[in-house]
Structure 1
Amino acid sequence: MTISRRQFLGTAGAALLVPALPGGLPAAPPAPRPLAIERRTLEVKGRAARVFGIRQPDGTSGLTLEPGRRFLVSLANRSGEEAIIHWHGQRPPYVQDGVADRNRPTLPDGAEQLYDFAAQPGTHWMHSHFGLQEQLLMAAPLVVRSEEDIRADLQEVTVLLHDFTFRDPAEVLGALTGGMMAHGAHGGGHGGGHAMPGHGTPNHAMPQGMAMDLNDVEYDAYLANDRTLDDPEVVRVEKGGRVRLRLINGATSTAFHIELGRLTGRVVAVDGLPVEPVEGSRFGMAMGQRLDILLSLPAEGGAFPVLARREGERQRTGIVLASAGAPVARLAGEAETAAGPVDLSLERRLVPLAPPAARPADVTATLRLTGGMMPYVWTIDDQPFGEHRPLRVAPGQRVEVTMVNQSHMAHPMHLHGHHFQVVGLDGTPLAGAVRDTVLVPVGGSVTIAFDADNPGRWPLHCHNLLHMAVGMMTEVVYDGYA
């Protein structure tokens, strides 16, 4: 099914609802919220870097929508190159998902595009889905508040995590692949090139053949809201106050352990969707995932670091919550010990507040996550994207997919356009969380179930950007879509 630009604009325009004023006169339609993809200069460890941003006219990164607001956005591309932005966690019509494919072009430099669809409440984010632009920080928060958020009367703090390199991402990928062109990364968007020695170098600390490889690349820095622990963001909070942390792992190739120090938090949502509270002070978080954590601060006040430590390593980043007048001690950019791998210990404890109705699957499939570090090839069923076998579905079907990891790295798997329930871990049935991104560990399996209720061609891919770039992606394709 090929969709023309005219059809796309018609679909967007049809979604605009114009309310009526008293007396039956139509009110003016709401104005789109403006966003722009821009270039900006960011200082990291005393050194200037040219990166991207997705910002509002006042410089605010990303977007927060109040309850009941549609996602009505005019996106302008001022980046100097073609781009496309994916609304991660949203369930838009297929043509508005923000992915370039045979039916949907990229947004040329200097062009604008209107998006209009019902917004999915929760903590989400937006990021490039073209080439390797995401590695250069073409990403931003996307928060849609609910009526429950308003009634809760909490201070909300949003934190976007990144891994950062001063090098061109194409050189980093080229060092891993030997300079081979990446699947899905060609045609611009920092997608090709050859590596040179220096920053952002590949990490082969674990030889192939050992049980697990944890990290592909050694990065120059790890950022929380664009800052390192050399100069962290300090958020002023009330003594005895309550805070809702909205944490987004926007790193391209790094999983983190969220560490709350002497605070105890309650995870109340994952990937924007509510769960029964899970209490703790340390939670794993893979790339693309989000955690909402409620904190109750001590009545005496103080300074409370919220840290993200890289899995398998000592490096960390984070922010500081501090009451008025509380001294903020300097924080080291490395912990005393290395963290272990992020695992499924949190996943096993998650129970959704609004699970889908139980029903038997109409379609079942098993996907093998395959590939390795040397050669640097990551695939699904040994087939890179472009040679993949799509999963065919029809509207109304319940679809169940088991992902079996036969590689030496864990893979955070993300499905566009849908939310799924985690219904099995390592072959054991589970009535788990409803989410859009799940970690499939080395040697493990995860089974997800979703309803085919949003027709189109939807990517299902690893959210390690480098893995996706070399081919670890397939599609869920509805009947009627070529």
Structure 2
Amino acid sequence: MKRRKLLTGLLAGSAALALPSALIRPTLGAQSPAAKSLSIVRRSIEVNGKSADVFGLQQADGSMGFRFRAGDLFDVLLGNETDESTIIHWHGLTPPWPNDGVPDAPSPLIAAGEKRTYAFPIGKAGTHWMHAHTLQEQALLAAPLIVANPDDDGRDEQEVVVLLHDFSFKTPGELLAGLTGSPATDAMAGADHSGHGGMDMSSGTMAMDLNDIEYDAYLANDRTLDDPEVVDVERGGRVRVRIINGATATAFTIDFGELEGDLIAVDGEDIVPVKGSRFPMTMGQRIDVRLTLPAESRSFPILAMREGALQRTGIILKPSGAEVARIAALGEQGGPVLDLELESQLRAAMPLAQRAAGKSYEMVLNGDMAAYKWGLTLNEPILVDQGDRVEVKMANMSMMAHPMHLHGHHFQVVAIDGQRFAGAMRDTVLIPPMRSVTIAIDADNPGQWAFHCHHLYHMAAGMMSTFGYRT
């Protein structure tokens, strides 16, 4: 199979949703004279002293990503300037289904040289992002998508946006082949079998799998800690840090070091603030942290620590006159293993209205690490009607954590391991091994929406389902 077909075809196959034929090829709307232009491009960055050919999402002025204001119209002309077909998902926004970015669910891939228009209300403020819904996401086809709150215009506050990624000089297809190939072949060179998974001989139980790919680098805004982004800030100033975990297969803990901040939003949704200096985030999640810097001329690193490993990346906040010390890309201790402790503490600033669920579903997350097969088993297909309150209990019976993401909606976390509480609003939630999380969704956006693991290779290997409306 040719490389470009592999990159786009595997995920299209995993998204073989049961679609009404009348909706397979929707019309997204005519081009508006006021539309913002966004281009899918190829670009070069330097990683570990070597040139790397990657993708990008670029505005006409060369800037990466988008910034809107709450209440704006998402009026965008998206052009594919590469020689590969692809498609973009607006992660965190809730557009009408024809605007969603999953191959043939409902729109076809955007061909090389093609332009496509999008027009829908942007909705409320939040930290979001946009990324390919193909293996090209691994090759950095992603960018921030920030929706600012006009109510924050009067704040004396600097904004810093950080997009995290895991990077390999291998192609995404080579990485996937390394995971799905025979352990006896050289193709497994891309997989991490460094003792995280398999039988724990000391206890006689199955140990947790953490990382299944050893990447060449971990990036914060396209840069490693060998040459990090240094952000000029004011001494004693206030900073809002928006962090997006755009990694395809890596969870991080964000370490603010000596700075203690207020976690004020997750996945673009406001929460009751939680103070802390370390916050976990799995793939696809976002956090907003508000900081007040000391009135001193010292630099402050913000580090993303790879789960269960020494690697880390990050940026540095630099007040005027401060020196910037070199920070090693390997820490002295491995990053913490993510759990649900923080999740159990989060409370939505604007929770769903209290009412009983009219429909409930149970989803089992299963997989075989050795065979690299992953899947979702439902007690019955998720099929809802507009206006329903729906609950989905997700139980992970595999030995690897799964970040579960629902397109087109935000949901509320309402139970962990059967213990009910009124948690955060999200669009992506972590389900650790042998744990369960229950979410509540108001069915208010008709379509046949993708519901999948946000570990790119788990999704490519089959961990994808549908949150479907009756038509």
The TM-score with structure 2 as length reference comes to: 0.91
Residue type matched to 1:89 in 2?
G
Which residue does 2:86 correspond to in 1?
A: 83
Which residue does 1:206 correspond to in 2?
A: 196
2:128 pairs with 1:124: yes
Correspondence for 1:256 among 223, 244, 252: 252
Residue type matched to 2:413 in 1?
V
Distance 1:72 1:261 in 2: 40
Distance 1:6 1:53 in 2: 26
2:62 pairs with 1:37: no
Which residue does 1:404 correspond to in 2?
A: 395
Distance 2:364 2:147 in 1: 34
The alpha-carbon distance between structure 1 residues 234 and 91, as it changes in their structure 2 partners (threshold 3 A), is same
1:340 shift after superposition: 2.4
2:179 pairs with 1:176: yes
Distance 1:195 1:230 in 2: 30
1:197 shift after superposition: 6.8
2:230 pairs with 1:234: yes
CA contact (8 A) 2:26 2:98 kept: no
Correspondence for 1:137 among 137, 140, 145: 140
1:158 shift after superposition: 0.2
SS in 1 for 2:128: strand
Distance 1:270 1:35 in 2: 26
2:422 pairs with 1:431: yes
Which residue does 1:189 correspond to in 2?
A: none
What does the per-residue CA deviation read over 1:398-420, in whole Å, with 9 as the maximum and x for residues that have no partner? 00000000000110000000000
Runs of 4+ in 1 over 2 A off after TM superposition: 1-7, 194-198, 200-211
CA contact (8 A) 2:80 2:113 kept: yes
How large is the RMSD of aligned CA atoms in angstroms? 1.9
What does the per-residue CA deviation read over 1:169-216, in whole Å, with 9 as the maximum and x for residues that have no partner? 111111111179xxxxxxxxxxxxx96476x44435334242310011
Distance 2:186 2:404 in 1: 27
2:22 pairs with 1:8: no
1:99 shift after superposition: 1.2
Correspondence for 1:358 among 342, 354, 359: 354
Distance 1:80 1:55 in 2: 16
Correspondence for 1:154 among 152, 157, 161: 157
Distance 1:7 1:103 in 2: 7
The alpha-carbon distance between structure 1 residues 151 and 67, as it changes in their structure 2 partners (threshold 3 A), is farther
Residue type matched to 2:434 in 1?
G
1:271 shift after superposition: 0.3
The percentage of aligned residue pairs carrying the same residue is 53
Which residue does 2:13 correspond to in 1?
A: none
SS in 1 for 2:283: coil
What does the per-residue CA deviation read over 1:294-353, in whole Å, with 9 as the maximum and x for residues that have no partner? 000011231000000001001000000011110000000011011221111211111111
Distance 1:66 1:246 in 2: 15
SS in 1 for 2:207: coil
Correspondence for 2:290 among 266, 289, 294: 294
What does the per-residue CA deviation read over 1:125-145, in whole Å, with 9 as the maximum and x for residues that have no partner? 000002x10000000000010
The alignment of Structure 1 onto Structure 2 pairs a total of residues equal to: 444
CA contact (8 A) 2:179 2:188 kept: no
Residue type matched to 1:108 in 2?
A
